[in-house]
Amino acid sequence: MKVRVRDFELRFTHPFSISRETQLTSETVIVELEDGGLTGYGETTPEAYYGQGTAEIIRAIEDAAGLLAGRSLRDMSPKELWAVTDAHFGQLKFAQCGLDIAAYDLWGKINNRPVSDLLGLDVSKPIITDYTIGIDTIDVMAEKMEEFSDWPVFKIKLGTDRDIDIIRALRERTDAIFRVDANCAWGVEETIRNSVAMKDLGVEFIEQPMPVENQKGMKEVFGKSALPLMADESCVVEGDVERCAGYFHGVNIKLTKCGGMTPALRMIEKARELGLELMVGCMGESTIGISAIAHLAPLLDYVDMDTTLLLADDLADGLTFERGRAIYTGQSGLGFKTTY
């Protein structure tokens, strides 16, 4: 197998704000894995918050070329390839993710079947993604929501001094399900208080209300929250799933953070063993990375794979959405065609 790496900067349609930052663009790294005339494509998104930048991601993937020489996904599975390269990537899980997704896409193309089919998963049943509303003025947040007025589920980014006012104002405009994500911005009493008010306003769950290091506070909130709590920043790699039990009701797994589809599948299995609810989320990926999430969706309780709807630019055609429902192409691999 041979590997090539490209990086892009994709524009958001609107400025995208969460509690700690505002983004106008999303950096992304595309991995091309070639084997016998077929090419699989993977994606990962550099993120300063997790200390993994574009240059080191590209370097780590290019340096893995020696491990790929002489190997073929005609003779091994993506899971086996992940194990072969694991020591090389070490803590660089973002880089590992890009290669792993490319391996699954290539594996599907070699076998001329969709990846979900090879994994024994049924994507024919309705799979609904939420649509995320970034922090802004209440009027602008309402306008963004109204652009997708037929959407059944919205994820609302919070972490302001007017969070309840935001939810109350948006609730006046729709009866859709709300999920909220504070991205570590709240404290103990604020989380408990907000959970009570937001339950009455039709919020389904709260994602990562407090900073990762506040484990004592999370334990208290876990026992007092009126709403289920979903870990995000507290659930990065495989070992974090067990550490979230007793502090959160569920985990949001990000392929980029954990190292790809291979470890995500193991994290899903562990979460089920522990009785945790499951979600897989996105980090600014194009259709390439979002398609990888979509092929795991039948295993999940909640899906957050909406960044292709938030971006003005894309790198592939394939997976689309109709009133929140994912529409799969049925093509081999991850089911997309690149456009760059």
Cα torsion through 325, 270, 202, 155, rounded to 10: -50
Task: Tell me the per-residue pLDDT of 14-49, one tens digit each, with 9 for 90 and over.
Answer: 999 999 999 999 999 999 999 999 999 999 999 989
pLDDT at 197: 98
Residue type, 184: C
What average pLDDT score do residues 315-320 get? Answer: 98
pLDDT at 295: 98
For residue 331, name the pLDDT band (cuts at 50, 70, 90): very high
**Where do the domains of the chain lie, and which CATH numbers do they carry?**
2-112 (3.30.390.10), 118-338 (3.20.20.120)
Beta strands, E only, the chain: 2-18, 21-35, 38-44, 131-133, 153-157, 177-181, 203-207, 229-231, 250-254, 277-281, 302-303, 316-317, 320-322, 325-327, 337-338
Beta strands, E only, 150-249: 153-157, 177-181, 203-207, 229-231
- Structure-token match 């709590």, residue found: 229
Looking at the chain, the whole-number percentage of residues with pLDDT higher than 90 is: 99
Residue type, 149: S
State the pTM of this model. Answer: 0.97
pLDDT at 5: 98
pLDDT at 3: 98
pLDDT at 119: 98
For residue 165, name the pLDDT band (cuts at 50, 70, 90): very high
Task: Tell me the per-residue pLDDT of 85-120, one tens digit each, with 9 for 90 and over.
Answer: 999 999 999 999 999 999 999 999 999 999 999 999
Instruction: Report the SS3 class of residue 5.
Output: strand
Report the alpha-carbon distance of residue 47 to residue 36 in Å, rounded.
33
pLDDT at 266: 98
CB within 8 Å of 83: residues ≥ 6 apart: none
Instruction: Report the SS3 class of residue 325.
Output: strand
